[in-house]
Amino acid sequence: MNEHNMEYNSQKEILEMAEYGRNIQMLVHHAKTIEDPEYRQVFVERIILLMHQMHPQNRNIDDYRSKLWKHIFRIANYDLDVMPPDGVIPKMEDKVKKPEALHYPETAAKFRHYGHNVQRLIEKALKMEDGPVKDGFVSAIGSYMKLAFRTWNREHYVSDEAIIADLESYSAGKLKLAEGSTFNNFVSSQGNGKSGKKRGKDYQNKGGRKGGKKGGSNRRRSK
C-alpha cells in the first residue's frame, strides 16, 4: 500500500483575508523576506495589481487602490517595509476601527401622542411673524393635532377646545387661537373617504338592481 503525504487546508496557516486566496498570502510573506528595498517595493506593487485583477468589479469604487494597500498590510500582519502611494502606512490599530457613536436627538415631548412633527411645526410657528399667514399655519397645526389624536385614540373623543388648550400649553402660551376655532381641514378628508365608500356601495346597489331587471327581462324572454 502506497503512502501519500497529503496536506490539508486545516493544517496550513490560517488565511488572514480569504477573499484573496492562499497564493496572495504566500506572496506577501515572501515579500517580507526580500532584502532589497527597491525590489521589495516593486514586488509588493505587483501583488497589488494582481489583487486588483482578482476583483475587477470593484475598480470603480473610490479609493479602492488605497484599500488594497491596507489589505496587503493586514495580510502581512503590519510587518512590511514598503511605502503606499499616499505615504500613509497602515497600523495595527486600523484593523479594528470602532465606528463613531451615534447621538440620537433628545427631545422632551410634553404630548407624545401628537408626535415629534407637531413639536417641529410649533417651533417653526414661533419663529414666524404675527399675521394672517401665521394664524393660518397655526390653524393647520391644530388640524394636524386633531387628526393625530383621532388616529391613535379612536375610542376617545377630542374637542376643539382641548386642541386649543394643548396647543397653548405646548407653546408655553405663545400660540393662541380665538375661542370657537374649528379644526376640520384634515379630519374632513377622512369623512370624504367614508362618503366615497358609501357612494360606491350605493352605485353597486343600483347596478345590482339594474342587473336584476335585465336578468328578469331575460328570463321573461326565455319563457
181-192 residues labelled b (16+ CB within 10 A) or e (exposed): bebeebeeeeee
pLDDT at residue 150 is higher than 90 = no
Would the pTM count as exceeding 0.95? no
How far apart CA 45 and CA 148 sit, in angstroms, is 62
User: Which of 11-15, 70-74, 87-91 has the largest mean confidence?
Assistant: 70-74
The pLDDT of residue 105 is 61
How does pLDDT run across 156-186, given as a tens digit for each residue? 777 778 888 888 888 888 887 766 667 765 5
The conformational region for residue 63 under phi > 0 = left, psi -120 to 50 = alpha, else beta, is left
Mean pLDDT of the chain: 75
Q: Which three cell numbers stand for residue 80?
A: 512590511
- The CA angle 193-150-155, to the nearest 5 degrees, is 105
Looking at residue 21, its amino acid is G
Distance between first and last Cα of the chain: 98
How does pLDDT run across 27-57, given as a tens digit for each residue? 999 999 999 999 999 999 999 999 988 887 7
Question: In this structure, what DSSP letter does residue 14 have?
Answer: P
The pLDDT of residue 53 is 87
The pLDDT of residue 147 is 82
